[in-house]
Structure 1
């Protein structure tokens, strides 16, 4: 079984509960909703670990603060190798400030912090992967680091999976080497507008399932009473997909594994289960 290395963001989600969202210039009172781990990279690594991959390595960057130290400790507790998580001497750990009103509507401000800094060490770690290993990248981090890591992993013979989320333009050669590029419907439209054509494209359709080339899977019904929220479902899909591919699964089997993980993720509240920090 190959290794999974996840290059992506580590964020601390700070949640505030409000009766309603304020209008510009207005102050409203809120209630602390808690601090939770998040970030697409951390969510995907946790999903890969839940899928049973024997070795999941986190390639990320945090600040030299309490939040970063706590997140790194959590990664280790989940069985994820945090030894390649670097520390910024100046930028804080990434933070998402989230307000949730009584109707469940979210308003989110993301402060990239250390996630947004270039880090050549992460690309060097990706270059130490080997045939049979999988590098999974998402785009809440410095895009130059993503491109360098993808190229290094591909040159080493590893498989590169690029989750093009949140959508951003990557160099054409990075799009071409990815197997697959993973997008949702909105990201697929943005990719089409860019005129870039991936050699391998996997499109997710939420509850309707997913399609990878000629292979597709239908969505798995989840009763409304059992739905917590859909936050992190796409990340769970991608992490489980990478784990299945590292385990030698073919396209259809990997799709089925990822689809099941995405459906399971809507049954809890938050991006990761038991995610309080």
Structure 2
């Protein structure tokens, strides 16, 4: 079975639903509030586990009630949390506004995630056992670089989601095998106005790039292959929170299983399409049987 290791964040999502998001200086009335486990690292871990991989999570939660819930949610989805450490203080939180069009705006408070600034004993050994390492940017960059270097040293494929977007140091890019960015991240990283141009720019730094385009699908570039565009299934979005992480988790599993790139992208798109039709982040992520059904329908 494919083994995925995730080095990243775990947050409690604090979600407000509104007809439309407030503009600067404006107050609007929401109609619903809920809490749900999230964080890009935990989301990708749960997505990969539900896709049928063996998944291990490296990161940190606080010694508060949110930390207990976050660990429980991961374990309930079959994620190994032996190296998810508990630290003194508050767990990370993400404050999310979801509008009636399914769009969202998010503010992240790192909390315990900010303590994950280096690898601790056991982390590199676990990374060495993986088929693929998933990385994001919701923990300190030093730990992301250390994780990528450890993966490269042990021949483990590394997939980076550059979110939240920030300048990426050469020592990180040099250890990344596949960069998966959404349109806004790709544009922010390159300064380009067109996502396809941005993807070509990113290919100068990493050997393989996927830019996701929401309902327009995704665009894939690899140095030794022709460009590839893959359409997304047509669905009505209820909540797009977690869709990108679902796509990355599913794509990582599909590629690690040896699927051709086009099939892997289509399978990941089917997973994301199922996700956006449900509310929540990790709670909305589909299981492998659901994806297979949607992929073949």
TM class by smaller structure: 0.7 to 0.9
The C-alpha deviation readout for 1:206-245, integer Å capped at 9, x for no partner, is 1122122235343233343xx3222211111101111112
Q: CA-to-partner distance for each residue in 1:90-134, whole Å, 9 max, x for gaps?
A: x31011233457787755432110112234335851443347610
Larger RCO (CA under 8 A, 6+ residues apart): 1
Which has the higher mean CA deviation after the structures are superposed, 245-254 or 94-103? 94-103
- Equivalent residue for 2:218? 210
- Please state whether the residue corresponding to 2:126 is helix, strand or coil: coil
Specify the alignment match of 2:62 in structure 1: 63
SS in 2 for 1:245: helix
Name 1:13's counterpart in structure 2: 13
Tell whether the 8 Å contact from 1:215 to 1:252 is kept in structure 2 after alignment: no
Instruction: Report the Cα distance in structure 2 between the residues aligned to 1:147 and 1:114, rounded to whole angstroms.
Output: 19
Q: Which residue of 1 aligns with 2:195?
A: none
Q: Distance in 1 between matches of 2:127 and 2:90?
A: 28
| TM-score for both structures, normalised by structure 1 | 0.85
Alignment partners' CA distance in 1, 2:281 and 2:61: 19
Question: In structure 2, what is the Cα distance between the partners aligned to 1:246 and 1:229?
Answer: 28
The CA distance in 1 between the partners of 2:22 and 2:75, in whole Å, is: 37
Q: 1:117 to 1:57 in 2, by over 3 A?
A: same
RMSD of aligned Cα (Å): 2.8
Deviation at 1:177, TM superposition (A): 2.5
Superposed, 1:22-171 pairs within 5 Å as 24=25, 33-53=33-53, 55-89=54-88, 91-99=89-97, 108-121=106-119, 124-130=122-128, 133-171=131-169
- State the aligned residue count: 270
Q: Is 1:259–2:257 an aligned residue pair?
A: no
Q: 1:55-92: CA deviations, max 9, x gaps?
A: 10111111011110111011111111111101222x31
Structure 2 contact 16–31 (Cα < 8 Å) conserved: yes
Asked whether the 8 Å contact 1:217–1:256 carries over to 2, the reply is no
For 1:266 and 1:27, the matched residues in 2 are separated by: 26
Using the alignment, how far apart are the partners of 1:101 and 1:229 within structure 2?
8
Deviation of 1:30 (Å):
5.8
Q: Could you tell me how far 1:263 is from its partner in structure 2?
A: 1.5
* 1:4 corresponding residue in structure 2: 4
Tell me by how many angstroms 1:172 deviates. 1.0
- 1:181 corresponding residue in structure 2: 179
1:269 aligns with 2:279: yes
Q: Give TM-score scaled by structure 2 length.
A: 0.80
Equivalent pair of 2:247/2:272 in contact (CA under 8 Å) = yes
- Aligned pair in 2 of structure 1 residues 199, 75: CA closer, same or farther (>3 Å)? same
Q: What stretches of structure 1 of length at least 5 have no aligned partner?
A: none
Q: Displacement, 1:38?
A: 1.2
- Which structure 2 residue ranges, 5 or more long, are not aligned? 193-200, 286-297
Q: Relative to structure 1, is the Cα distance of residues 99 and 242 closer, same or farther in structure 2, using a 3 angstrom cutoff?
A: closer
